[in-house]
Structure formats: structure tokens, C-alpha cells
């Protein structure tokens, strides 16, 4: 099946620990995104990547890092510098063509719920 897969579904982090959330897609999408979801605040953009080996900070990038070594993969690392990491993290991907550059919808993974213990 084509889709976007996030793992793990649940993740627990100790204080001062770095953790990495996985996001893989087999949709051949060029653009990939990481969002953070907190109750009542909707989705906030952490990082995005439009092509391999390139990524840009979103609105709340502090305390997070990403890599895009392969088209299919866009892992997110939550570092110890992120002081309030407990949240639901969503990865998304999107087709990119010159013809309909603005018009395509995003496909989302099922999310990873990160909790600090």
C-alpha cells in the first residue's frame, strides 16, 4: 500500500534525552513536513523539506533537528533543548509538480505521541 508511515506510535523520553521520530513515505512525494499538535492550538510547523538534502525551519524549530538524506525519509530528532516536548507529532508529504505547484493536498501519517517521563 502507498502511504506515509510514522513510528513509533508512542514514545517516552526522559529529561535530557534526545529521541528520533521516524517518517517514511512511498508516495514518491518531494515535499515532507513535520507538525506539532497541542490541544487547542491546531498544527504548528516545525520543519519542512522540499527536496533531498535541503530543509527549512518552520515556526517552532527550536529544540528540533531533521535530516533528508533520502526522498522517502524525513526523521525528526527532539533534542534536550526542547523544554516542552510532550505533544502529538505529525509527519506529512505532498506531491510537487511545476504544473500545480500550489494545489496539491498533503498526506499525513498516523502520528507519534511523545511524552516526557
Partner 1 sequence: AQSVAQPEDQVNVAEGNPLTVKCTYSVSGNPYLFWYVQYPNRGLQFLLKYITGDNLVKGSYGFEAEFNKSQTSFHLKKPSALVSDSALYFCAVRGYGQNFVFGPGTRLSVLP
Site for partner 1, rule CB under 8 A: 4, 6, 31, 33, 35, 40-43, 45, 48, 50, 56, 58, 88, 90, 92, 94, 96, 101-103, 105-111, 113
Residue 44 Cβ vs partner 1, minimum distance, rounded to whole Å: 8
Pick the closer one to partner 1 by CB: 73 or 80: 73
Q: Which is nearer to partner 1, 19 or 23 (CB)?
A: 23
Length in residues, the chain: 117
Least distance from partner 1 to the Cβ atom of residue 33, Å? 7
Name the minimum Å distance from CB 110 to partner 1: 5
- Shortest CB 50 distance to partner 1, Å: 6
Query: How many Å apart are CA 81 and CA 17, to the nearest integer?
Result: 9
By CB neighbour count within 10 A (0-12 exposed, 13-18 middle, 19+ buried), where does 58 fall?
middle
19 within 8 A of 77, measured Cβ to Cβ: yes
Residue with cell string 526542547: 82
Choice between 19 and 46, CB closer to partner 1:
46
Comparing CB distances to partner 1, the nearer of 85 and 109 is 109
Question: What is the CA 44 to chain-centroid distance, rounded?
Answer: 11
Residue 8 CA to residue 92 CA, distance in Å, equals: 15
Amino acid at each position: 500500500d502507498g502511504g506515509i508511515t510514522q513510528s513509533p506510535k508512542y514514545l517516552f523520553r526522559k529529561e535530557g534525552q534526545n529521541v528520533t521520530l521516524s517518517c517514511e513515505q512511498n508516495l514518491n512525494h518531494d515535499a515532507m513536513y513535520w507538525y506539532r499538535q497541542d490541544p487547542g492550538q491546531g498544527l504548528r510547523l516545525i520543519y519542512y523539506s522540499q527536496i533531498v538534502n535541503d530543509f527549512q525551519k518552520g515556526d517552532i524549530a527550536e529544540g528540533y533537528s531533521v535530516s533528508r538524506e533520502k526522498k522517502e525519509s524525513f526523521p525528526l530528532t527532539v533534542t534536550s533543548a526542547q523544554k516542552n516536548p510532550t505533544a502529538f507529532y505529525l509527519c506529512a508529504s505532498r506531491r510537487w509538480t511545476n504544473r500545480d505547484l500550489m494545489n496539491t493536498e498533503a498526506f499525513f501519517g498516523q502520528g507519534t505521541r511523545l511524552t516526557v517521563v
